[in-house]
Structure formats: C-alpha cells, structure tokens
C-alpha cells in the first residue's frame, strides 16, 4: 500500500510505502532535483560557498564551510587562528539552530501532545521560552559572525570579508551566559520523555580528526588506520533507487546512521551515558545533549577570542593565488558527515563538483530501522504503526532538501 501523503514535519517531501504483512518499508523521496553538482560547473570558486548554502536553509553554514574548505584544501591556504575560531563559532551556532528547530518544531511535538511547535507556548510557556532562547542565541551568533542567520554573507576563501567587533563578541558572550539554563532545559525535557523502544544493530559513522570512523570497524584499530576523509568516495557509497530522487548512501554499501547519536558514540562526553546507541529514537536526546555541548563550546570560543590581542577591526583574510586544482571539504553538519569535492581550472572556474550530504547516508538506515520497528511492534494496529513510523523518520531528522541537491 502506498500512503500517498507527504510526511509532515520533516524538511522536504518524503512518503512511506509500507508492506505491513512483510514488515517492509520504502522511503519515497519526491523533491525535485536541483542538480547543484551541475549548476556549480561554470561558476567561480568564490561563488561556490555562496551557492551551496542554498542547498539547505536549515544547515546553510555547514555547506558554506564545506565549500570553503574544499577551495582552501585545493589552494593550500592556511587560515588564521581568528578565522578558525570564528568558523568554529559558526558551527556551534549551526548545530544549536538546527537541533532546536528539529526538536521543538518537528520531532518533540509528537511526544508533548501538540501539533504545531508554537502550541508549546500555551501548554508549557517555560519550555517554549527555553526553545526560543536557544533559537535566539544561535541565530544571533550566526547573524553577528556569518552576517545573517540563514545563508552567510561575511565568509570568503581564506577567511572573512568582515569580522565582528569586540563589543559584538562581548554581547554574544553575555547572551550565552544568560541562556545556559535554557540550553540545559532542552536536555531536561528530552531526558524525561519515554521514547519508543526499538533495538536496531545500528552502524554509526562519524568524521573525526580528518578520519571516517565506524563502530563496526575493529575498535582496537588505531585512529590513523581509519579511512581518511580524502578517500571518502571509497567508503561512503551511493546508489540510485527507482522510488527516490535522492541517492541512497552507505558505508561500503552497508546501512549507516550519521548525526548527533553517531557523533556522541565516538565522543567522551559523560552526558552520553543516558543514550541507547541501538535505538535511533535516541537521536532526539543526542541532539538535546549537543545543544548543551555546543552552547558551552560557544562560550569557550567567545572567551578565547576576547582574550586574544586581536583588535577585531575589519577583516581576517589570508592571501592566495588561484591556480587549477581540486580539493575536498568535509565537515560534521548537524545531521552528520558532509562532503564537498570541487575541481577548477586556472581561472578558478569550477569544472567538477560532487556533494554527499548526511541525509543521503541516513536514508538506508531509516528503512532498516523502519523494518525493525514493524517487526518489533506486530501487536500494534496499522494506524499505530503508521504513526510510529513517521515518528521514527522524524527522529532521524532527515533533511530531504539536502538529500536531493
């Protein structure tokens, strides 16, 4: 049976084709193809980090930074410490913006007994205030550092056209201090929710220190032996499906889950103790943990920036020459590992582009977990199963606009 309806509260258009008798689910992806890898060809490298954020309005900073890294990798550009710190700050903002939007407006309403996220304002004003605080502080950081909360304007190859003033950074730090409790509250809300039980043998994959890690690789393997992000194409594979405008990704063809849950699996933060790494619904809690972690990280970076001798006057930009080259920019986006590969000629005109987004990698795992969900909930009615399936899809926080780029 094809449920001919788009799943609500996910970014982009997807629907489920479910064979309840066989516990088989297909995730149909309907978004139109924009063919970003084609439309980038013929544009300049300086336009790449301007165009690619438009792949996704929820994680534009991740695309912006991935393109910049690809260009800087190819032109061997060293960036300044200030640039590095400001970019890390952008990542913190991006993670908080995206996770807060997903949790409070898309996924948590399922558990809080509301439909539209804003209904929380009536139902629990304090929780809603916390959501708005996180959204506000992360939007403010993005606006001050990247120039706008959606689609950066200040970044350029080699650094920043324009950097914030000391006064602006001080204000951001103040705001971080004022909203710490709200960041903690998001985790508090999530840790009290009883998420559906589900046990899936998840393969969790993340980028760490320029390597691609998987929990299915021998844990005693030294980090350096893991595949480098430079060899991403050998590890992160993609295939076409006749029911999807997005390709389906994997780790050497195996179903993988990327994103907050996978990142925390490979981290040593003690907050991860409450997570069940075999239950994809726990990706919601993992995102709430990350909101707090990136909130703290943003505070640290701001203090570090303010302690530096920089007068924060004007730009932060490394000089470079343009020559024909190619580069890879990889970054952990809110939903997991993102890869941009660009090639260009001696005039800096792009001749080849390849982009693999996190949601492409998650699609196979969503289907695997959906099948397991049906297997493990056979006693439930079809309606209950349908609802659980939609909640499961939302827990993965798929960004279908990213997946069909």
Query: Residue numbers of the site for other proteins (CB under 8 A)?
Result: 6, 8-13, 30-35, 37-39, 42-44, 47, 50-51, 53-58, 60, 101, 105-106, 115-118, 121, 132, 135-136, 139, 146-154, 156, 160-162, 239-240, 242, 245, 247, 315, 401, 404
Which residue has tokens 């992360």? Answer: 138
Closest CA to 90 of 140, 46, 48, 130: 140
- Quote the least distance from Cβ 398 to other proteins, whole Å: 12
What are the φ and ψ backbone dihedral angles of 91, each rounded to 5 degrees? -65, -45
Rounded-to-integer distance, Cα 78 and Cα 80, Å:
7
CB atoms inside a 10 Å sphere around CB 265: 18
Look at residue 269 and give its three-state secondary structure.
Answer: coil
Look at residue 236 and give its three-state secondary structure.
Answer: strand
The full length of the chain comes to 405
In sequence order, what E strands does 20-92 have? 24-29
CA separation (Å) from 261 to 105, 205, 208, 396?
19, 9, 14, 9
Q: Which is nearer to other proteins, 264 or 390 (CB)?
A: 390
Q: Which is nearer to other proteins, 112 or 275 (CB)?
A: 112
- Quote the least distance from Cβ 8 to other proteins, whole Å: 4
- Quote the least distance from Cβ 217 to other proteins, whole Å: 26
Q: Which is nearer to other proteins, 118 or 278 (CB)?
A: 118
Distance of CA 7 to the CA centre of its chain: 20
- Cβ atoms of 351 and 37 closer than 8 Å: no
- Quote the least distance from Cβ 280 to other proteins, whole Å: 21
- Quote the least distance from Cβ 403 to other proteins, whole Å: 12
Q: Which two tokens stand for residue 244?
A: 């999807």
Beta-carbon contacts of residue 294 (< 8 Å; ≥ 6 apart)? 91, 92, 95, 96
Q: Which is nearer to other proteins, 131 or 374 (CB)?
A: 131
Q: Which is nearer to other proteins, 156 or 279 (CB)?
A: 156
CB atoms inside a 10 Å sphere around CB 171: 15
Q: Which is nearer to other proteins, 154 or 362 (CB)?
A: 154
- Quote the least distance from Cβ 218 to other proteins, whole Å: 30
Rounded-to-integer distance, Cα 58 and Cα 400, Å:
11
- Quote the least distance from Cβ 223 to other proteins, whole Å: 33
- Quote the least distance from Cβ 273 to other proteins, whole Å: 32
Strand 24-29 versus strand 14-19 pairing type: antiparallel
Q: Which is nearer to other proteins, 76 or 233 (CB)?
A: 233
- Quote the least distance from Cβ 126 to other proteins, whole Å: 15
Phi-psi region of 241 (alpha: psi -120 to 50; beta: other; left: phi over 0): beta
Q: Which two tokens stand for residue 114?
A: 């509301």
Give 27's strand partners: 16
Distance of CA 185 to the CA centre of its chain: 21
What are the φ and ψ backbone dihedral angles of 227, each rounded to 5 degrees? -60, 140
Q: Which is nearer to other proteins, 131 or 262 (CB)?
A: 131
- Quote the least distance from Cβ 32 to other proteins, whole Å: 3
Q: Which is nearer to other proteins, 135 or 263 (CB)?
A: 135
Phi-psi region of 315 (alpha: psi -120 to 50; beta: other; left: phi over 0): beta
Q: Which is nearer to other proteins, 41 or 173 (CB)?
A: 41
């Amino acid at each position: 049976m094809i449920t001919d309806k788009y799943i609500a509260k996910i970014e982009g258009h997807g629907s489920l084709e479910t064979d309840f008798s066989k516990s088989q689910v297909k995730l149909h992806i309907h978004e139109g193809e924009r063919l970003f890898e084609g439309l980038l060809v013929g544009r300049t490298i300086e336009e790449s980090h301007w165009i690619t954020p438009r792949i996704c309005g929820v994680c534009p900073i991740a695309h912006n930074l991935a393109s910049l890294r690809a260009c800087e990798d190819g032109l061997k550009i060293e960036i300044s410490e200030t640039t590095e710190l400001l970019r890390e700050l952008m990542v913190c903002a991006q993670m908080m913006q995206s996770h807060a939007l997903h949790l409070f407006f898309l996924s948590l309403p399922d558990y809080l007994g509301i439909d539209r996220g804003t209904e929380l304002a009536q139902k629990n004003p304090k929780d809603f205030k916390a959501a708005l605080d996180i959204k506000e502080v992360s939007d403010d950081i993005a606006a001050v550092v990247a120039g706008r909360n959606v689609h950066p304007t200040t970044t350029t190859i080699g650094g920043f056209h324009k950097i914030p003033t000391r006064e602006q950074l001080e204000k951001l730090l103040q705001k971080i201090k004022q909203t710490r409790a709200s960041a903690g509250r998001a985790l508090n809300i999530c840790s009290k929710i009883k998420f559906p039980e589900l046990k899936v043998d998840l393969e969790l994959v993340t980028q760490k220190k320029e390597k691609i890690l998987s929990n299915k690789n021998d844990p005693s393997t030294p980090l350096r032996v893991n595949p480098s992000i430079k060899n991403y194409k050998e590890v992160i594979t993609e295939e076409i499906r006749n029911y999807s405008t997005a390709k389906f990704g994997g780790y050497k063809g195996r179903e993988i889950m990327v994103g907050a849950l996978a990142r925390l699996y490979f981290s040593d933060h003690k907050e991860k103790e409450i997570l069940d790494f075999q239950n994809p619904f726990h990706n919601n809690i993992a995102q709430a943990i990350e909101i707090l972690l990136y909130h703290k990280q943003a505070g640290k970076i701001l203090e570090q920036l303010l302690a530096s001798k920089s007068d924060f006057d004007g730009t932060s930009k490394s000089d470079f020459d343009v020559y024909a080259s190619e580069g890879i920019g990889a970054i952990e986006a809110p939903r997991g590992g993102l890869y941009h590969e660009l090639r260009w000629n001696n005039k800096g005109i792009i001749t080849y582009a390849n982009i693999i987004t996190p949601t492409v990698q998650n699609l196979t795992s969503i289907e695997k977990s959906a099948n397991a969900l049906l297997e493990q909930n056979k006693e439930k009615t079809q309606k209950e199963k349908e609802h659980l399936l939609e909640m499961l899809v939302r827990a993965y926080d798929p960004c279908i606009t990213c997946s069909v780029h």
